[in-house]
Amino acid sequence: MSTCTTVFASYAAFIPDFPAFCAALQTPRSCCLRVNTLRTTPEVVRALLVSQGYSVTPSPIADELLLVPNLMHPGRLREAILGYYHPQAFTSALVSRIVAPQPGELVCDLCAAPGSKTSHMAQLMDNQGVIVANEPVHPRLAMLEYNLKHLGISNVVTTRYSGQNFPLRCKFMRVLVDAPCSGEGNYRCDMQGRVQHVRHATSAPDDLPRLQKQLLIRGFDILAPGGSLIYATCTYNPAENEAVVQGLLEQRPATLQPITLPVPHSPGLLQWKEYTYDARMQHCWRLYPHQTDSVGFFVASIRA
C-alpha cells in the first residue's frame, strides 16, 4: 500500500476513482504560470519561453494561464524578475476566476497572503477599483506586499486585522475567504519522489474548522447586499469544507450558487460519516489532482 493510499484512506469513500487519485499524487505536478497581463501579454511570455526550449500549452479556460510541464524552476528565469508572470497552481488561479471581480469594484480578500489570488484579482480588475487585502501575520503580510509590488499592483490596500474580527463598517461587493487550512491538497511527490505536504496553518489542525467558520461568517457579514462570497481551501477534509459552509447556512441567510466554468470537478458532499449536509452543497466544487493535474481545492460560491 503506497503512502498516499494510507494517508487518504479515510477519504476513499468519497474521492472518485481513488486509485487514479493516488496514482496522480505519485507524479510531479505540471508547472502553471499566470501571465501578468498588467505588464505583458500571454503571447509574449509564450514566445519567450518557447525560445528557451520550454513547451507551453495555453489553458482552455483562461488566456492568462500557461501550462509549462518541463519548467522546473519558474522563479529563476529572467521573465520572473521582470514581473511578467507569477507561478501559481492552476486550481488556485481558478479561485480568482470564480470570484470574477470586475474593474471598479470594492473587493475584500480576507486571508490574502502570499498574494497570488489578490494579484490575480487585481489583474482581472485591470488595476481599477480597490481590493482590501487582509493578512494578520506579519511575515506573511511582508510577503504579500512584496508580491503586489513586484507584479505592479496599484489598486490594493493592505490591512492587518484578525480576519474573524475584520471591521464590519466597510461593506464589499465581493469577498474571498481563502482560509488557512490543513493543506492536504498540496500532498504530492516531487521529481525525486519526495513527499511535499505543506501545512500552512498557524493553528493546531483541530482548531482550524472553528477558525474557518469564524472567518466565513465574518466574510458574509461584510458583504454588501447582493454581494458574493467565495470560500476556498486547499484541503479535502470535509470538516474544513462542507461542515464550515453548513455552519454558515445554519447561522446566516446565505445561499449557495452554481459555479460555471468548464473544469472537471466533483460536487460537494451531502454526507460524510455521521454528518448530513444541506442539499445545496452539491453546488460546491471539489477539485482533485487526477481530474485537474493540479493542487486539490474546495470552492463554494455563496450569495447574500
Partner 1 sequence: MRFGIPLITFDGFCLLLRHKTYSLLSATSHIGRLTGLQVNSVGLPVLRSIRHHLKPTTAALQYFGTEARRHVLDLSEIQVVTLLRDREQLLHLDIQPGYVILRHAGHILGCGLYTPGRLRSQLPRHPAVSF
* Residues assigned a catalytic role: 234
- For residue 196, count other CB atoms closer than 10 A to its CB: 12
Burial of 84 per CB tally in 10 Å (0-12, 13-18, 19+): buried
How far apart are CB 2 and partner 1 at their closest, in Å?
33
Q: Which is nearer to partner 1, 160 or 303 (CB)?
A: 160
- For residue 266, count other CB atoms closer than 10 A to its CB: 16
How far apart are CB 128 and partner 1 at their closest, in Å?
6
How far apart are CB 171 and partner 1 at their closest, in Å?
8
How far apart are CB 105 and partner 1 at their closest, in Å?
8
Q: Which is nearer to partner 1, 9 or 170 (CB)?
A: 170
Q: Which is nearer to partner 1, 38 or 217 (CB)?
A: 38
Q: Which is nearer to partner 1, 20 or 142 (CB)?
A: 142
- What residues make contact with partner 1 under the rule CB under 8 A? 38-39, 73, 75-78, 80-83, 104, 106, 127-130, 132, 141, 145, 148-150, 152-161, 167, 169-171
Q: Which is nearer to partner 1, 136 or 180 (CB)?
A: 136
What is the 8-class DSSP label of residue 294? S
Q: Which is nearer to partner 1, 169 or 273 (CB)?
A: 169
Judge whether 196 and 183 are in contact, CB under 8 Å: no
Residues 6+ apart with CB under 8 A from 90: 30, 32, 59, 65, 67, 292, 293, 294, 295
- Say how far apart CA 248 and CA 217 lie, in whole Å: 6
- Say how far apart CA 164 and CA 29 lie, in whole Å: 33
Please, which residues bridge with residue 132 across strands?
108, 157
- Say how far apart CA 54 and CA 286 lie, in whole Å: 31
How far apart are CB 39 and partner 1 at their closest, in Å?
7
How far apart are CB 262 and partner 1 at their closest, in Å?
31
- Say how far apart CA 201 and CA 285 lie, in whole Å: 22
Separation in Å, CA 303 to CA 108, 152, 231: 15, 31, 11
For helices 208-221 and 242-251, give the axis angle rounded to 10 degrees. Answer: 40
